[in-house]
Amino acid sequence: MFRFLALTVVFFIAFAAAIVFLFSDSANNGESELAAIQQDNDVQVADGEIAAKRNSEVTYTPEAFRKAAFEGNIEIVKSCIGKGVEIDDADSSGFTALTMAAYNGHDKVCQVLIEAGADVNKRDNKGQFPLYHAASLDSPTTVKLLLDAGAEINETETRENFTSLMMAAAEGNMGVVKVLLEAGADRSMRDVDGDRALEFAREYGHEEIAQLLQEN
pLDDT tens-digit series, residues 145-177: 999 999 999 999 999 999 999 999 999 999 999
pLDDT tens-digit series, residues 3-46: 433 434 444 455 454 444 444 444 455 455 545 545 555 555 45
Q: Domain locations in the chain?
A: 1-57, 60-215
Beta bridge partners of 156: 163
- Fold of the 60-215 domain: 1.25.40
Q: What region, left, alpha or beta, does residue 73 occupy, with left being phi > 0 and alpha being psi -120 to 50 degrees?
A: beta
pLDDT tens-digit series, residues 64-118: 999 999 999 999 999 999 999 999 999 999 999 999 999 999 999 999 999 999 9
| CB contact at 8 A, 213 and 178 | no
Q: Tell me: pLDDT of 191 over 70.
A: yes
Cα 59 to Cα 211: distance, rounded to the nearest angstrom: 50
